[in-house]
Structure 1
């Protein structure tokens, strides 16, 4: 009697989360092409749009239980384009190109730092404390770089005049990505749980403030998040020292 063969597993990928990842990749690609055409405000806005797409793909995958190794790798490659290569090229074309080789070097350092940040994150998924990121997340670094370009375009600041501020901002963002500073990940927040009514009011007020001047507010918001890393790391170290003293 012939033994029936087990049914073949259907190979494929989940459409919904990977669709958002593709949208993130498209926004990064569009940012580069827009910057090449001198449309720097559109380029910067596209990088922020890529951040929204990147935030949605992971949450959708977790909510729909469609997390796969393919999706994780695709998301990492998309992040490298949208938050590594695209911000570096946009900043270079807007301002850093006026510094010749120095500007080119700063753009490369930012791109390389993003690659190193993503590689370290991928290798520490199983051991990293989910409450904190090690190093500034690449989307936040991209938001600072793109936010500066968007802010400059909105306030009529030419890239040539901002070239020294641009190189300092780009280099600092790159160094923070590969640093050992701890950043709060916000992954512990339960968006499906109940919250006090005052929280909804606070969120509405925050959105209203951001929408009054999104270019300035977003730049300040992500700059404050970047500055929070050293402060949080110092606080955590002090707490560890205090625990050791009590235990001793």
Structure 2
């Protein structure tokens, strides 16, 4: 059971992603994107459950990658395609494919480097590219904004297509890129800030329940802003590391 429970949660991630596609086919956009959000929450806890129960396994790692590709690569690509990119089915399908392929490339790169020691981004506390669940959220952010601002927002199909294509193209590039991004595990809070952080988590949860689409839209914008900040932070960390390395001995007289 220690192995079955976390794998069952991973299977729920896959099921949630595919259920989102099912809702998108019938035009139930709220339910469709909600399924991807639920998949993201489940994906965030399955690994922690496995470590807590000491039930991590090679099978679970492989299943997790397949579930992530389905829920955060294939499903968001189909949802955003049916919502907007279908209005230009030729080029629109290319953008949808770009998201799914970029997600697969990111997951393959992540799995292939699990045992690699020389990972400068990881050593400095950063990720390489944006994670697959974050990529799915960013790709669906135009739908978040539309559900928040009402049916008149992006009502013109050409504008909707242009915005969706730009967002999903940028997201795909960031997933497949080697851009350093912030990692939650690298965040260190001073003791004086812990109560403030708990208050912030509580307020975020309340906002997510009261105004989910506004909260998800603003969260997507905040993460997009954090990417260039992470690049600057990583460059600063690398400069400090280089400055801390003692210079080698000079040439002999």
TM-score over 0.5 (shorter chain): yes
Aligned to 2:84: 95
Aligned to 2:250: none
Pick one of 117, 142, 149 that aligns with 1:148: 142
CA contact (8 A) 1:17 1:66 kept: yes
Pick one of 163, 168, 172 that aligns with 1:170: 168
CA contact (8 A) 1:24 1:51 kept: yes
Distance 1:101 1:207 in 2: 40
Deviation at 1:245, TM superposition (A): 4.6
The change in CA–CA distance for 1:180 and 1:236 in structure 2 (over 3 A counts) is same
Distance 1:216 1:24 in 2: 24
Aligned to 2:34: 45
- Correspondence 1:36 to 2:25: yes
The change in CA–CA distance for 1:132 and 1:243 in structure 2 (over 3 A counts) is closer
Q: Helix, strand or coil for the counterpart of 1:133?
A: strand
Deviation at 1:113, TM superposition (A): 0.3
- Correspondence 1:198 to 2:196: yes
Deviations 1:129-165 (A, max 9, x none): 2632100101001011223223313421347241100
Q: Helix, strand or coil for the counterpart of 2:10?
A: helix
Deviations 1:19-60 (A, max 9, x none): 110110110110111111111221111000100111111110
The structure richer in helix per residue is 2
CA contact (8 A) 1:27 1:50 kept: yes
CA contact (8 A) 2:95 2:165 kept: yes
Aligned to 2:226: 228
CA contact (8 A) 2:2 2:54 kept: no
1:12-161 map, 5 Å: 14-126=3-115, 127=117, 128=119, 129=122, 131-154=125-148, 155-156=150-151, 157=153, 158=155, 160=157, 161=159
Give RMSD over aligned pairs.
2.5
Task: Structure 1: state its 5+ residue gaps.
Answer: 1-11
Pick one of 239, 245, 252 that aligns with 1:241: 239
Deviation at 1:226, TM superposition (A): 3.2
The change in CA–CA distance for 1:213 and 1:133 in structure 2 (over 3 A counts) is same
Deviation at 1:230, TM superposition (A): 2.8
Q: Helix, strand or coil for the counterpart of 2:177?
A: coil
CA contact (8 A) 1:21 1:53 kept: yes
Distance 1:202 1:14 in 2: 34
The change in CA–CA distance for 1:150 and 1:236 in structure 2 (over 3 A counts) is closer
Task: Structure 2: state its 5+ residue gaps.
Answer: 248-253
Q: Helix, strand or coil for the counterpart of 1:38?
A: coil
Task: After superposing the two structures, state which structure 1 stretch, 30-39 or 232-241, moved more.
Answer: 232-241
Pick one of 204, 212, 215 that aligns with 2:213: 215
